[in-house]
Amino acid sequence: MTVALLAVLLIPAVGAGVLALFPARLDRTARLVGTIFAAVTLIPIAVLPFGRDDGWSVLSAHPLAVLPWVDLDVAWVPALHLNFHLGVDGVSYPLVVLTGLLTVLCCAYTMWRVPTGGSGRTLVALLLVLEVGILGTFLALDLILFFLFFEVVLLPMYAVIAGWGGEDKRRAARKFVLYTLFGSVLLLLGVITVTAAAGTGDLVQLTGSTELSRGTQYAAFALFAIAFAVKAPLWPLHTWLPDAHTQAPTVGSVILAGVLLKMGTYGLIRIGVGVTPLGAEWAAPLLGILAAAAILAGALICLRQTELKRLIAYSSVGHMGFVLLGIATLSATGLQAALLGNVAHGLITGLLFFLAGTIKDRAHTGELAELGGLRETAPRLAGLLGFAAIASLGLPGLAGFWGEAFAVVAAVQRGGGLWLTLAVLAAIGGALTAAYFLRLLRKVTHGPAVAVAEPYAITRTEWLAWSPLVLLTLAVGVAPSLVLAATSFPVRALTEALR
């Protein structure tokens, strides 16, 4: 099983290396090879759950908070307390699958359309490097290793935006990289604080342990929270996001919104809540207030947006607000809602960015005022956009509902004046979300048709890239246990550490 764990990281890494060796004239073949590597990565990912052994976790005398299904622990730099410790459990597995899936879809999409700015071969190679970094972040069970993978993601993303982006790409890419680097510095400080105080960076030992003093936990959680809040992003640390999304190529936006943001919320659950529970408890009210502010601010700003991709980017701020509200309640319900919300947002916003990219590519504009009548010129595309928008505004029966509704339920469950107010505000934010998505649909799909630069028919590759997202949105909506099945034990362990 450890082979599978290693293969998950090695296959895309090798793929990126192979692509780098490809001659430039074989661009199409190179993209195909890259796509195959990305697809093959799914095999070890699919194998991972077979390593799960529930019996042991229950029978064990001293249950640990993190019980990886598959575990790989090799000493790397003992002097720095750095171990090459990888593992996967119910909290990280859905995100691992999501990452693998979205990378394949993005690579496949690049087979059909390479955004202007550079060669398709390099873009696919960068996507594979990104995949390594993101998967590594989700799999790392060592604080320093987590930080390393967290950083690996930055530069390829910078290159994707700066190389294949829109008109203002360099400024947006710079803002993205500098802003998130600022967060990384704080993360590094937090990691060092914890490792130095506890004498180990091993998350399995750190989670739920009582070794860290109250003061250390407060300090470390403050550092972690700001670092992850930049990544997530949490209002008011979000302003890198709209620029990066608007300028990034379609595949960049999909990866960025689909999985990159999840590194922030995942880190907050695994490290923030797991390693420094006292700090989390201390900061929870503030986090909750900021989350509610993010929900409302994101929705209100979306109501005034005039650009398609910018609007969807800002909608992410609101959606991640729901996820953070779930985390801030620090209850089992809230954390599970956050995990579900994470995956749902990845699926739905990934789909939305694909569709927005297609519309923008063909109409040569993303201005809402210049779009219109999509249901006349492209009924299927309009139907898909309608589906994605309705899923994103949280229609029950589709994936988006669970995370958001149960973040509210968790806040109600927490009780007390503050949390009830936050629940009410979040619910109002849900209504505003409907308002801006309906405005979007009205501007883009209804009304008289606008002449388009290119025909609107959906190609086979596009169907291939989109249909898994559509189906999974529906499947997770009908059967949320697809995501939640394995999370109840780890989440319970996390919340028990709080008591």
DSSP for residue 393: T
The tokens describing 404, both together, are 């958001």
* Residue 103 near residue 156 (C-beta atoms within 8 A): no
Nearest distance from C-beta of residue 491 to another protein, angstroms: 8
- Separation CA 190–CA 204 (nearest Å): 17
CA-closest candidate to residue 69, choices 191, 159, 204, 215: 204
**Per-residue contact flags (x/-) with another protein for residues 177 to 196, judged by CB under 8 A:** -xx-----------------
**Per-residue contact flags (x/-) with another protein for residues 410 to 429, judged by CB under 8 A:** x-xx---------xx--xx-
Q: According to the binding rule CB under 8 A, does residue 494 interact with another protein?
A: no
* Residue 233 near residue 264 (C-beta atoms within 8 A): yes
Looking at 20, 43, 46, 479, which residue binds another protein (CB under 8 A)? 479
Based on C-alpha coordinates, what's the Rg of the chain?
A: 21
List the beta strands (DSSP E) in 78-200.
82-88
- Give the footprint of another protein on residues 243-272 (CB under 8 A): none
CA-closest candidate to residue 126, choices 80, 159, 166, 171: 159
Query: What is the DSSP secondary-structure string of 305-327?
Result: --BHHHHHHHHHHHHHHHHHHHH
Nearest distance from C-beta of residue 41 to another protein, angstroms: 29
The tokens describing 83, both together, are 């171990």
Q: Cis omega before residue 236 (within 30°)?
A: yes
- Separation CA 469–CA 446 (nearest Å): 24
- Give the footprint of another protein on residues 336-375 (CB under 8 A): 336-337, 340, 375
- Separation CA 324–CA 268 (nearest Å): 9
Stretch that binds another protein, among 84-92, 129-137, 269-277, 379-387 (CB under 8 A): 379-387
The tokens describing 229, both together, are 């809040």
Bridge partners of residue 142, in order along the sequence: 202
Q: For another protein, which is the closer residue by CB, 39 or 435?
A: 435
Stretch that binds another protein, among 38-46, 206-214, 351-359, 407-415 (CB under 8 A): 407-415
Q: For another protein, which is the closer residue by CB, 60 or 467?
A: 467
Stretch that binds another protein, among 88-96, 115-123, 210-218, 334-342 (CB under 8 A): 334-342
- Give the footprint of another protein on residues 274-313 (CB under 8 A): 296-297, 300-301, 303-304
* Residue 435 near residue 354 (C-beta atoms within 8 A): no
Stretch that binds another protein, among 61-69, 114-122, 155-163, 378-386 (CB under 8 A): 378-386
Stretch that binds another protein, among 59-67, 82-90, 125-133, 404-412 (CB under 8 A): 404-412
Give me the residues that bind another protein (CB under 8 A), please.
Answer: 175, 178-179, 235-236, 238-240, 296-297, 300-301, 303-304, 331-337, 340, 375-376, 379-380, 383, 386, 390, 395-397, 401-402, 405-406, 408-410, 412-413, 423-424, 427-428, 430-432, 434-435, 438-439, 442, 446-447, 479-481, 484, 488, 491
